[in-house]
Homo-oligomer: A and B are copies of this chain.
Amino acid sequence: MKQLKGACIIGQSGGPTSVINASAYGAIKTALESNVITHVYAACNGIKGVLEDCLIDMNQEDPAELAYMKYTPSSALGSCRYKLKDPDEDDIDFRRILDIFIKYNVRYFFYNGGNDSMDTCNKISKFMLKNNYPCKVMGIPKTIDNDLIGTDHCPGFGSAAKYIATSVMEVYQDARVYDTGMVAIIEAMGRNAGWLTASAALASYKGTGPDLIYLPEVPFDMNNFLNDVQEVYDKNSKCIVVVSEGIRDKNGRYISEYGSDMSQSKDSFGHAQLGGLAAYLADEAKKKTGAKVRGIELSLLQRCAAHCASQTDIDESFSAGKAAVENAIAGVTDKMVGFERSYMDGKYVCNIKLFDLNIVANTEKKVPREWINEAGNGLNSQFIDYALPLIQGKTQLSYEDGLPRFVRLKKIKV
């Protein structure tokens, strides 16, 4: 088969993770080393960079410096939250993308993001095909939310899970120091899927974790919650709770809205912006139990804590980026690189598997109800078995003067 010669563009999109750059680095390094890909460009701030003809020349970066990308959190190339229109209704953006691809002879497009990014990827792929422009388009997943369909898990989840479980174990130690009562409510990210919040159960598996965990997969009932807290508190005089930002009542109303009469602000995808839930629930728990309470929001820390990343996640993320380029060069297009799990001699093995972009885009994978306990306030061993392999290994992040050494790109614009 004749290989397609030409340049590539790699872009990053959506909310960053601790390891999204490990994937980008996997793709960039593989592309730079390929003799089929003639030039490696990075899009400034994802697809917006393509639309605005703002490309970074990755061939001019120092290879040794580039290697730091593997351990640098957040989107080093810049990200965006830009939703492409349906090309059948409005193809202006797509024609612009095609123009840019022609201008730079771009024959490979790699997009590193979550659900929305896979949608972008899929639309570009279809448009190029329709316009007879030979181009290989591959999606490289990332999302701490772990909510992409098909793939066993998503690059980024393992590191966020490790950070959350570790932090909750530490808060557990802290919450127990006084002989007075204490209720701590910890809020993790996760709008519709509770994977991140569930990862706190890994701390409980180690014996020093939360007493109660509430995911968006189960309708949240305030009375049940307060009774659960009271029961644990009466027994132990301590209660540690982890809740997902996205918990909703049986009518679908976000619990985070209960405490606030502010009109909900929404992001450009129409997703409600959440926050302040931990403080609100802590307040309710205080009223109920009379205990000293503490609301803790893990906030941005959980998606950028590279210092606590899982080396398994880092290595898998890198391999996803690498596989995207290798497969594209081999002629594959319109696919997302994902993972399939197997066990060899009882040991977890992660294999690359390709998924159709149109299946992945805009669908969310949730925590199976059967992995959640009957009362809906904890996880069972099926979740632990699933998540534990993903958090193994300490990051090999370099330190300089006692602090992380993150990548310093020249970012020379084309």
Chain B residues lying within 8 Å of A138, measured Cβ to Cβ, are none
Given known A78-B178, A166-B307, A402-B393, contact A296–B294 (CB-CB < 8 A): no
Interface mask (A62-74 → B, CB under 8 Å = 1, otherwise 0): 0000000000111
Nearest Cβ in chain B — how far from A346, in angstroms? 14
Closest to A268 in B: B180
Chain B residues lying within 8 Å of A305, measured Cβ to Cβ, are 167, 170
Chain B residues lying within 8 Å of A304, measured Cβ to Cβ, are 170-171, 173-174
Given known A73-B173, A78-B177, A174-B304, contact A208–B399 (CB-CB < 8 A): no
Q: Is A394 among interface residues, defined by CB-CB distance under 8 A?
A: yes
Whether B401 pairs with A388 at a CB distance below 8 angstroms is yes
Chain B residues lying within 8 Å of A393, measured Cβ to Cβ, are 402
- C-alpha spacing A15/B45, complex, angstroms: 43
Taking CB atoms and an 8 Å cut-off, the chain A residues in 1-41 that contact chain B are 12, 15-16
- C-alpha spacing A81/B180, complex, angstroms: 10
Chain B residues lying within 8 Å of A74, measured Cβ to Cβ, are 170, 173-174, 176-177
Picked from B162, B179, B406, the residue with its CB within 8 Å of the CB of A45 is B179
Given known A166-B307, A167-B301, A304-B170, contact A177–B401 (CB-CB < 8 A): no
Whether A403 pairs with B202 at a CB distance below 8 angstroms is yes
Q: Is A342 among interface residues, defined by CB-CB distance under 8 A?
A: no
Q: Is A123 among interface residues, defined by CB-CB distance under 8 A?
A: no
Picked from B72, B167, B174, B177, the residue with its CB within 8 Å of the CB of A173 is B72
Q: Is A206 among interface residues, defined by CB-CB distance under 8 A?
A: yes
Q: Is A80 among interface residues, defined by CB-CB distance under 8 A?
A: yes
Whether A403 pairs with B173 at a CB distance below 8 angstroms is no
Q: Is A392 among interface residues, defined by CB-CB distance under 8 A?
A: yes
Q: Is A248 among interface residues, defined by CB-CB distance under 8 A?
A: no
The residue among A165, A392, A402, A408 with the most chain B CB atoms within 10 A of its own CB is: A402
- C-alpha spacing A414/B381, complex, angstroms: 37
- Name A's interface SS: mixed
Chain B residues lying within 8 Å of A184, measured Cβ to Cβ, are 300
- C-alpha spacing A7/B206, complex, angstroms: 35
Whether A203 pairs with B79 at a CB distance below 8 angstroms is no
Whether B174 pairs with A403 at a CB distance below 8 angstroms is no
Interface mask (A178-198 → B, CB under 8 Å = 1, otherwise 0): 110000100000000000000
Closest to A173 in B: B74
Picked from B45, B75, B179, B306, the residue with its CB within 8 Å of the CB of A80 is B179
Q: Is A310 among interface residues, defined by CB-CB distance under 8 A?
A: yes
Chain B residues lying within 8 Å of A299, measured Cβ to Cβ, are 294, 296-297
Nearest Cβ in chain B — how far from A342, in angstroms? 19
Q: Is A335 among interface residues, defined by CB-CB distance under 8 A?
A: no
Taking CB atoms and an 8 Å cut-off, the chain A residues in 292-332 that contact chain B are 294, 296-297, 299-301, 303-308, 310
| A-B CB contact pairs (8 Å), 28 listed | A15-B177, A16-B177, A44-B179, A45-B178, A72-B173, A74-B174, A75-B177, A76-B173, A78-B176, A78-B179, A166-B404, A167-B305, A169-B404, A170-B404, A171-B301, A171-B304, A173-B304, A173-B306, A173-B406, A174-B300, A203-B403, A206-B400, A206-B403, A207-B408, A208-B406, A276-B279, A279-B279, A310-B402
> What 4 pairs across the A-B complex have the smallest Cβ distances?
A74-B173, A391-B402, A174-B304, A170-B304
A residues near B, CB below 8 A?
Answer: 12, 15-16, 44-45, 48, 72-76, 78-81, 162, 165-167, 169-171, 173-179, 184, 202-203, 205-208, 276, 279, 294, 296-297, 299-301, 303-308, 310, 388, 391-394, 399-404, 406, 408
